[in-house]
Amino acid sequence: MTPSLPTVHLVGAGPGDPELLTVKAIRAIRQATVLLVDDLVGDGVLRYARRGARIVHVGKRGGCASTPQAFIERLMAAEALAGERVVRLKGGDPFVFGRGGEEAAHLRALGLQVEVVNGITAGLAAATSIGVPLTHRAHAHGVIFVTGHARGDADQLDWPTLARAAAQGLTLVIYMGISTIESLQAGLLQGLSDATPVAIVQHASLPQQRDARCTLADLARTVAREQLGSPAIVIVGDVAAALGAIAAPARRAA
């Protein structure tokens, strides 16, 4: 009988609140003998790790010193090939701005099996935490998830083009945009009204969550005034208005 290949689990830890973990994620964490953990994984999530499991913190945070991606990929493979039950524990969802695609491709190229366990992505959690729907029949018929953190100048996003798409009735959910908030704002103003509602949510779902609402014209000023920093989500579009502004239409009298 051919022995089964080792399996590495890429597990989404969600936005930080351990109560938002999936049952499947908890099961994978409990079975792991080695966990490679991102910085943005909430401390409460690790309470599900088995006693004796080795926890390796492999910090990955924009704007800060980070563990090299190549090292993380080599470590995952080495531990799995050594017989460990490896979980790569990632904030949010592994396949939403989590480099899970790169890691899965690397592991599969080495002949390892990969199982991905989805987690609630920060953009969704941020919106829900302030009572904002990302889509709404009367105000937003779609949503665009996008990162404001590009690898280099050649990869910079065309914010005016995204703004024109959003103007057609789409909500923009921007990850990792705080460090470039001024250029992001300037680009969006080329395709969206300066009165477009915006919400900024820092540390979504965690006890230290902070948020603010403003117009697109005041976005950079609001971030500076409120001293909002990473990790934060920026939500742009009509749904970011106060809930009272998008109340359901009144029922007609019979």
Which residues are known to be catalytic? 38, 60, 176
Helices (H) and strands (E) in the chain, counts: 7, 10
Helix (H, G, I), strand (E, B) or coil at 10: strand
- H or E stretch including 35? strand 34-37
Cβ burial, residue 155 (10 Å; 0-12/13-18/19+) = exposed
Closest residue by Cα to residue 235 from 145, 142, 107, 102: 145
Helix (H, G, I), strand (E, B) or coil at 82: coil
CB 228 within 8 A of CB 200: yes
DSSP string, 159-223: HHHHHHHHTTTEEEEEES-GGGHHHHHHHHTTTS-TT-EEEEEESTTSTT-EEEEEEGGGHHHHH
Closest residue by Cα to residue 63 from 138, 148, 187: 148
Closest residue by Cα to residue 41 from 21, 15, 63: 15
